[in-house]
Amino acid sequence: MFDNAHWAWPAVALAFLLGVLGMRWLYQRFGLGKKQAVNADYFKGLNFLLNEETDKAIESFIKALEVDNDTVELHLALGGLFRRKGQVDRATRLHQNLIARPNLTERQRFEAIYELAQDYYKVGWLDRAEGLFDELKSSETFHAAAVNGLCAIYQQEKEWQQAIDILNEHKRSDRPQYLKQVSHYYCELADIAIENLDFDMAHAYLKKSANEVNNNSRTVLLKGELAYQQGKYQQAIDYWQQLHNSSSGAQQLVAGKIIKSFQEAGDLEGLTKHLNSTASIPKRGQDFRAWYDALVHVFGEADAETHILKRVESEGLSGPVASHLHHAVNADMVSQLSMSGLLKELLNRAKSRKIEYTCSGCGFDTKSLYWYCQNCGEWESFR
């Protein structure tokens, strides 16, 4: 198998060589300025790249860039390359030098500012990045990128209201693509309000979230949570049962609370119907135990085990289910006819599995359910 990193710098060297030779041709063809020769440090750097002497190549390029005012686009491209390779200090130095030059066009200056803002964001200098993105908002060309950059900072800092406010600065025609994002930001604020027992504020935020995206399953989940915290158990059940068709993953987050709500409401008939429904077996340990205890209470221990086995046939195994059935088999609580040797082996391996949810956007696996995928940036993508 080829190592992509092994071929990266030679490929860059070729790209730079073509760019530099293309510029030389333009100078010669159209007589652009007096400079007819390409700075020799470029070719020294290219030679170092081709020989995989990366550090020497970088120093040669930086030396060339510091004295050559005619290759701004190449400077920007090289700075972006440094950042992608994790050499942010060099990218920062390069972009700072570019911004300091008095002869840049307005677009070149804004482009250099944008690159430097990304450098700062990459290393976590969020205050500096915020200042540069804020400056870029005055540029029509970079306005949208600046707004998104500021939003990324506010999201990382969990400044949800600021994130909402900045996204509202997008052009009206661009705003629809950010509705789900804004809806989730209101959910974040509602979640905080519920935790602080500020139920009126939580209700207001959830109303705003629903105004952004009417069918956001997280909004429905939090409406149920709000009702649950206020002791309105039947209302909570009504909200959470809506999640079965829209988001079984979201329903998993409140699997144990749904059962407790039935119990608190004294609704044994409703609980029995819920346990017999197609709602998935809870995947989290504590929720599974509440679900299993409810099965035993309603159906008895033997029927509870049979119920679980039937569900496993259609749903497969999760960690808590595998661990429970592994114990049940060893304790002779399940007949050998129900549990073959193959199933025993599957349970043995599955009881310690680490993956329960997968992001539909990028395939990232995780044991816990998250609303936001840190890997690809998608909201509500875990299944």
Name the phi and psi angles at 378, rounded to 5.
-80, 145
Q: Which of 184, 266, 254 has its CA nearest to residue 226?
A: 254
Tokens representing 253? 């987050």
Task: Report whether 108 contacts 102 (CB < 8 A).
Answer: no
Place of tokens 């993105």: 133
CATH for 4-166, options being 1.25.40.10, 3.40.50.150, 3.90.180.10, 1.10.1370.10: 1.25.40.10
Helix axes 179-195, 217-229, angle to 10 degrees: 10
pLDDT at 309 over 70: yes
The reported pLDDT for the residue numbered 68 is 53
Q: Write the pLDDT tens digit of every residue in 371-380.
A: 888 878 888 8
What does each C-alpha distance from 16 to 9, 63, 76, 92, 143 come to in angstroms? 10, 15, 12, 20, 29
Q: Write the pLDDT tens digit of every residue in 171-213.
A: 889 999 999 999 999 999 999 999 999 999 999 999 999 999 9
Alpha-carbon distance of 177 to 265, in angstroms, equals: 41
Alpha-carbon distance of 31 to 34, in angstroms, equals: 7
Class of domain 167-242: mainly alpha
Task: Report whether 240 contacts 254 (CB < 8 A).
Answer: yes
The reported pLDDT for the residue numbered 144 is 95
Q: Write the pLDDT tens digit of every residue in 48-101.
A: 666 667 667 667 766 665 545 566 777 788 788 788 888 888 889 889 988 888
pTM for the structure as a whole: 0.75
Percentage of the chain exceeding pLDDT 90: 40
**Between vectors from CA 370 to CA 125 and to CA 233, what angle results, nearest 5°?**
130
Alpha-carbon distance of 359 to 378, in angstroms, equals: 8
Could you check whether 4-166 and 167-242 share the same CATH topology? yes
Q: What residue spans define the domains of the chain? A: 4-166, 167-242, 288-352, 354-383
Alpha-carbon distance of 158 to 75, in angstroms, equals: 34
Please, which residues bridge with residue 365 across strands? Answer: 358
What does each C-alpha distance from 305 to 14, 263, 264, 279, 338 come to in angstroms? 66, 21, 25, 17, 10
In one letter, which amino acid is 213? V
Percentage of the chain exceeding pLDDT 70: 74
Alpha-carbon distance of 35 to 53, in angstroms, equals: 29
Tokens representing 1? 């198998």
- Return the SS3 of 372: strand
pLDDT at 257 over 50: yes
- Return the SS3 of 160: helix
Q: Look up residue 382 and give its DSSP letter.
A: B
DSSP-derived secondary structure for 218-262: HHHHHHHHHHHHTT-HHHHHHHHHTHHHH-HHHHHTTHHHHHHHH
Q: Please, what is the average pLDDT of the chain? A: 81
In one letter, which amino acid is 79? G
